[in-house]
Amino acid sequence: MSLPLEGLSAVVTGAGRGLGRAEALELARLGAAVVVNDFGQPGRDGSGEASAAPAEEVAAEIRAAGGKALSHTGDVADFRQAGELIRLAIAEFGKLDVLVNNAGILRDRMVFSMTEEEWDSVIRVHLKGHFNTTHFAAAHWRERSKAAGGAVYGRIVNTSSEAFLAGSAGQPNYAAAKGGIVGLTTSTALALAKYGVTANAICPRARTRMTEDVFAGLERLEGGLDPLAPEHVAPLVGYLASPAAARVNGQLLVVHGGMVAVVERPRVAAKFDSKQDTFTYDELDALLTAHYAQHPAGETFAAAEVLGLKRG
C-alpha cells in the first residue's frame, strides 16, 4: 500500500524535541524523507550551548524505523544557514516538497519590562526564521515551476499560536511574532499558488519544553495519550503536507487534543458612514461610544472563548 507522502522530501525546523519531533516522525511515517533541523540549545529561551544531539537522535529514530532522514544543526534565524538547510534537502533528495517551520524560543516579559534584546531575539527566531526558510524554498519551487512549464508540488506549514488569536499579556514579543507569521503565511499563499504551492499555518496547543509552565497545573491522564501530547498535532501537519490538502491554502487552523478548528479571517462587525465630507470628533463619539456600550470590546474574543483558547 502506498503512503500519502511517499516519494516526497521534507524539512522540519525545531524538530529535535516536542512538536517538531512529533511532526518529523509523522511525516516520515507517512513516507516522506525528512531533514531534521534543530539548533540544539537546551534552554527554551535559546540559551545554552548548541548541540547536534537532538536533531541527530530524531533522524536516527526515523532511520531505525526504516525511513530516510538526516540531521541539520544550523540556526534558521540566520539567513545563510537557512539557505544551507534548504539546499541540503535538495542535494540529498533531489528536490524539496514540504517545509514545516516550527523552530522558536520564549523570552516572556510584560511589555513595560521587556528589553530590546528580549523583543529582538524572539522576533528573530520565530518570524525571521520562518521567512528565511520560506524564501529559499519558494525560490526553489519557482525555479522548478519555470523549468517544468507548469505547477510543481510544494507545501508550507507554519506555526502560529493562540497567543496571537486570544492575546497573551506576558508575551508581547511572542504574540507579535506569531501574528506576523499568519501575515507571512497568507502573503506566501497568494504569491506561490500559481506555482502549485500551498502555505498554511497552525495554532497548536501541546505540552512541550516551551509550554511546561503554561500547562503545569494540568495533570496527565492515567492511561491513553495525554490530551496535550504533541502527537495530537502531528496528524494535521501530515495532512496539510499531503496531496489531499491541495485545496487548502492560506488557512489558519487551531489544533489540540483531538480537535481541529478552522479559523475565519476577520470580518467587519459594524460599519459607520459620516454625514459630512469627513468625520468630526463629536460624530465619532456619538457613533462609536454607543456601539461599544452595546458591544464591549471583550466580545471580540467570543470566538476564542468558544474554542477554549488560552495562552499557548
Residues recognised as catalytic: 161, 174, 178
Answer for the pair 266, 257: CB distance below 8 angstroms, yes or no. no
Q: What is the DSSP string of 76-137?
A: TTSHHHHHHHHHHHHHHHSS--EEE----------TTT--HHHHHHHHIIIIIHHHHHHHHH
Please state, in angstroms and rounded to a whole number, the distance separating the CA atoms of residues 39 and 71.
10
Single-letter amino acid, residue 294: Q
Answer for the pair 210, 106: CB distance below 8 angstroms, yes or no. yes
Please state, in angstroms and rounded to a whole number, the distance separating the CA atoms of residues 229 and 223.
13
**Closest by alpha carbon to 98, among 152, 179, 178, 177?**
152
Taking the chain, what is the end-to-end CA distance rounded to the nearest angstrom? 38
Assign 3-class secondary structure to 18-62: HHHHHHHHHHHHCCCEEEEECCCCCCCCCCCCCCCHHHHHHHHHH
Query: ∠ CA(101), CA(38), CA(203), 5° rounding?
Result: 30
Give me 128's grid cell: 525571521
* DSSP for residue 180: H
CB atoms within 10 A of CB 273: 6
Q: What residues are paired with 157 via a beta bridge?
A: 100, 200
- Dihedral sign computed on CA atoms, order 23, 25, 27, 32: positive
